[in-house]
């Protein structure tokens, strides 16, 4: 049984976030008070400044900086939006409230701030992340998409009204949503010795029904397609704080492969952030070679799929491990893809009885 980490890790992080937000406010305030136009410097997120760092095994931003100055006519509005977003985040976090990107977009109106569209407000939030080095979940802005977890893990809430309360994540057979309350919880204890992440809800439910969590002593995570950042951070915590190895099961196509990759190595979009990825997680299937070995029913890869494969082939993240290149080449050779459900041709439990143990062993 893994020991829970320092009890105060969550609260400490919250304190840091609040300090850095008000620090930003102070910096802007002081510049104004000195009679100068406030400006902020942050790393550039343009593609030329995004590098893959094999050391940390994720994308990082290079040395290039951009300066936002309220002196510049094109910057003054985004600058105000940014200051507002910081204030808004500060209020949310200190009042222990959460909101979504969509909320941010609408909330601005109450402060007589406007965003042209959702894209613009999202960008400002990303600026704030880049400046502070925290991800938006840290300042209480959560994505819409929700993924889920199931298994024997006891957590302790830190959200208002629930502080100190604990819960075991097997208490609901549909799984528990990985939302703000869960991601801000401390881990208390677990009997699991691994994490199995799956792409699709159908398989997640099947695994629970088939007691995969017991049979394989694991926590089950539903990524629901591309895993949201909160979920990626949560998986990382499971890996780092509880020392649980992570195995990822996706569809056998370039898109599924990439869902696994983002959990492992992060995305270029989040190059300004750390601790969202789990470098030691494993992609366990469905591989292209599984399609061949297990003689799965397939669909042909279409042109879009092929184009994606060529892109991925050149992606630095895919050069880390020869496994990736091998699988890409196999996909290209067989020109076929298969969904996780394809195992049903051998009976509903085949995937749990045969495939899963074999793959867990193979990718250990």
In angstroms, give the least distance from the CB of 39 to other proteins.
Answer: 11
Would you count residue 25 as binding other proteins (CB under 8 A)?
A: yes
The interface with other proteins within residues 183-212 (CB under 8 A) comprises: none
- According to CB under 8 A, which one of 17, 21, 242, 257 is a site residue for other proteins? 21
- According to CB under 8 A, which one of 2, 16, 22, 268 is a site residue for other proteins? 22
When the beta carbons of 33 and 174 are compared against other proteins, the nearer one is 33
The interface with other proteins within residues 139-158 (CB under 8 A) comprises: none
Which among 26-34, 192-200, 215-223, 254-262 is the span making contact with other proteins, rule CB under 8 A? Answer: 26-34
In angstroms, give the least distance from the CB of 114 to other proteins.
Answer: 10
Cα distance between residue 103 and residue 91, in whole Å: 14
Cα distance between residue 294 and residue 278, in whole Å: 28
Q: What is the CA angle 260-264-269, rounded to 5?
A: 90
Q: CB neighbours of 29 closer than 8 A, spacing ≥ 6?
A: none
Cα distance between residue 156 and residue 277, in whole Å: 23
DSSP 23-35: HHHHHHHHHHHTT
- According to CB under 8 A, which one of 12, 37, 172, 215 is a site residue for other proteins? 37
In angstroms, give the least distance from the CB of 136 to other proteins.
Answer: 17
From its phi and psi, is residue 277 left (phi > 0), alpha (psi between -120 and 50) or beta? beta
In angstroms, give the least distance from the CB of 69 to other proteins.
Answer: 11
When the beta carbons of 112 and 303 are compared against other proteins, the nearer one is 112
When the beta carbons of 37 and 310 are compared against other proteins, the nearer one is 37
- Kindly give the residue spans of alpha helices, DSSP state H, lying in the chain: 9-33, 73-94, 101-107, 118-132, 180-183, 201-209, 212-215, 229-242, 254-265, 288-293, 303-314, 322-334, 350, 356-362
227 contacts 259 by C-beta, under 8 angstroms? yes
DSSP 152-191: SEEEE--STTTTT-EEETTSSTT-EE--HHHHTPEEEEE-
The interface with other proteins within residues 327-356 (CB under 8 A) comprises: none
Cα distance between residue 226 and residue 258, in whole Å: 8
In angstroms, give the least distance from the CB of 314 to other proteins.
Answer: 42
When the beta carbons of 3 and 109 are compared against other proteins, the nearer one is 109
Tell me which residue of 96, 99, 80 sits closest to 18, measured CA to CA: 96
- According to CB under 8 A, which one of 7, 12, 32, 95 is a site residue for other proteins? 32
Which among 33-41, 116-124, 258-266, 269-277 is the span making contact with other proteins, rule CB under 8 A? Answer: 33-41
Burial 152-185 (b: 16+ CB within 10 A, else e): bbbbbbbbeeeeeeebebbeeeebbebbbbbbbb
In angstroms, give the least distance from the CB of 13 to other proteins.
Answer: 19
Tell me which residue of 143, 30, 141, 128 sits closest to 80, measured CA to CA: 128
Cα distance between residue 281 and residue 235, in whole Å: 9
The interface with other proteins within residues 39-98 (CB under 8 A) comprises: 70, 73, 76-77, 79-80, 83-84, 86-87, 90
How many amino acids of this chain bind other proteins (CB under 8 A)?
27
Cα distance between residue 23 and residue 260, in whole Å: 37
The reply to whether 51 belongs to the active site is no
When the beta carbons of 22 and 44 are compared against other proteins, the nearer one is 22
In angstroms, give the least distance from the CB of 108 to other proteins.
Answer: 11
Q: Are strands 141-142 and 299-300 parallel, antiparallel or unpaired?
A: unpaired
Query: Which of 29, 51, 105, 106 is an active site residue?
Result: 106
- According to CB under 8 A, which one of 7, 8, 13, 33 is a site residue for other proteins? 33
The interface with other proteins within residues 99-118 (CB under 8 A) comprises: 111-113
Residues with catalytic roles: 106
Contact positions vs other proteins (CB under 8 A): 21-22, 24-26, 28-29, 32-33, 35-38, 70, 73, 76-77, 79-80, 83-84, 86-87, 90, 111-113
């Amino acid at each position: 049984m893994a020991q829970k980490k320092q009890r105060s890790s969550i609260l400490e992080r919250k304190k840091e976030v609040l300090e850095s937000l008000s620090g930003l406010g102070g910096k802007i305030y002081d510049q104004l008070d000195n009679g100068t136009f406030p400006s902020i410097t942050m790393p550039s997120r343009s593609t030329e400044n995004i590098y893959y760092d094999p050391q940390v095994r994720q994308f990082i931003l290079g040395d290039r900086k951009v300066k936002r100055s309220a002196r510049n006519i094109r910057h003054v509005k985004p600058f105000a939006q940014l200051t507002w977003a910081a204030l808004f985040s500060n209020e949310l976090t200190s009042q222990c409230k959460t909101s979504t990107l969509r909320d941010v977009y609408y909330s601005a109106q109450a402060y007589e701030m406007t965003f042209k569209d959702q894209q613009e407000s999202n960008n400002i939030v990303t600026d704030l992340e880049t400046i502070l080095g925290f991800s938006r979940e840290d300042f209480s802005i959560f994505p819409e998409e929700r993924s889920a977890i199931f298994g024997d893990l006891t957590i302790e809430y830190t959200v208002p009204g629930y502080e100190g309360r604990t819960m075991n994540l097997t208490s609901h057979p549909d799984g528990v949503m990985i939302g703000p309350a869960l991601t801000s919880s401390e881990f208390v204890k677990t009997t699991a010795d691994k994490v199995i992440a799956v792409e699709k809800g159908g398989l997640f439910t099947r695994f629970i029904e088939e007691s995969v969590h017991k049979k394989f002593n694991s926590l089950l995570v539903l990524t629901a397609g591309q895993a949201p950042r909160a979920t990626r951070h949560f998986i990382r915590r499971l890996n780092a704080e509880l020392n649980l190895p992570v195995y990822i099961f996706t569809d056998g196509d370039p898109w599924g492969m990439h869902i696994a990759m983002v959990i492992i190595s992060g995305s270029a979009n989040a190059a300004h952030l750390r601790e969202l990825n789990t470098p030691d997680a494993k992609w366990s299937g469905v591989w292209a070679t599984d399609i061949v070995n297990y003689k799965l029913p397939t669909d042909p890869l279409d042109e879009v799929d092929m184009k994606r494969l060529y892109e991925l082939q050149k992606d630095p993240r895919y050069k880390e491990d020869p496994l990736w290149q091998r699988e890409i080449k196999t996909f290209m050779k067989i020109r076929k893809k298969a969904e996780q459900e394809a195992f049903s041709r051998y009976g509903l439990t085949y995937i749990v009885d045969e495939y899963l143990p074999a793959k867990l062993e193979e990718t250990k």
